[in-house]
Amino acid sequence: MQWTLVIPLKPLALAKSRLSEAAADTVRPALVLAFAQDTVAAALACPAVADVAVVTDDAEAGRELRALGARIVPDAPGAGLNAALAHGAQAVRALRPESPVAALNADLPALRPTELGRVLTAAAEFPRAFLADAAAVGTTLLTAAPGHALRPAFGPDSRARHRASGAVELGLDAVDSVRQDVDTGDDLRAALALGVGPRTATAVARLLIREE
């Protein structure tokens, strides 16, 4: 089974406000873009992924992520994360009605294609499935098999809300890179310990040089 991924991305200047203690307003947008680039590049390198649609209104991110091979879908609803994801999933299904669809966060800079493949293979057994984040409170990935709506419920406590919605929680080991989203400085340190992609590594090195 080959999946279409829907990846939501806020305008860079507004994204990742919780990272402000680790990265000032002047440098955070570049770091957020690097996370998204490494996430999209790793997703496109996964054999279980047919294509990637990024839902964003950010012009610079749109250009950079299109250059990597993603399709860009404007955030037409402009009504927050779940509306953006539902819109992206609809846009995908309008083109490919039989496509299995997965929502994936754009803040997974350590994402490894093999681990993403393992998660998607496990998810293929269920109508809807999800993977909890490293903090075990949120969600990094939600899937919908052909014929099933995504029904995203991301945001605070989304692990419990996705479970309550009937999606099956994937209890997999050794998929840390798919769980490690980056909201805070501590999350960024955890992602660096797992090993981040090349754009994030460069962006973090620039951050450290500025601090000296």
Residue 99 binds ligand PEP (CB under 6 A) = no
Stated as kind and residue range, the H or E segment containing 47 is none
Q: Which residues contact 69 (CB under 8 A, 6 or more apart)?
A: 40, 44, 51, 52
- Interface residue with ligand PEP, options 29, 109, 138, 197 (CB under 6 A): 138
Q: How far is CA 69 from CA 95, 131, 132, in A?
A: 17, 25, 27
Strand partners, 141: 104, 131
- Interface residue with ligand GTP, options 17, 59, 166, 195 (CB under 6 A): 17
- Interface residue with ligand PEP, options 69, 78, 80, 155 (CB under 6 A): 155
185 is in an annotated binding site: no
Query: What does the alpha-carbon distance between residue 128 and residue 149 come to, in Å, rounded to a whole number?
Result: 8
Minimum CB distance to ligand GTP, residue 147 (Å): 25
Q: Is 23 or 212 the residue whose CB approaches ligand PEP more closely?
A: 23
Minimum CB distance to ligand GTP, residue 107 (Å): 5
Phi and psi (nearest 5°) for 205?
Answer: -60, -40
Q: Is 84 or 111 the residue whose CB approaches ligand GTP more closely?
A: 84
Query: What does the alpha-carbon distance between residue 21 and residue 94 come to, in Å, rounded to a whole number?
Result: 41
- Interface residue with ligand GTP, options 5, 6, 10, 159 (CB under 6 A): 10
Q: Which residues contact 7 (CB under 8 A, 6 or more apart)?
A: 36, 39, 40, 43, 52, 53, 54, 55, 70, 103, 104, 105, 106
Residue 80 binds ligand PEP (CB under 6 A) = no
Interacting partner of 139 out of ligand GTP, ligand PEP, none (Cβ under 5 to 8 A depending on kind): ligand PEP
Query: What does the alpha-carbon distance between residue 76 and residue 171 come to, in Å, rounded to a whole number?
Result: 34
Minimum CB distance to ligand GTP, residue 125 (Å): 26
Interacting partner of 55 out of ligand GTP, ligand PEP, none (Cβ under 5 to 8 A depending on kind): ligand GTP
Q: What residues make contact with ligand PEP under the rule CB under 6 A?
A: 133, 138-139, 154-155, 158, 181, 183
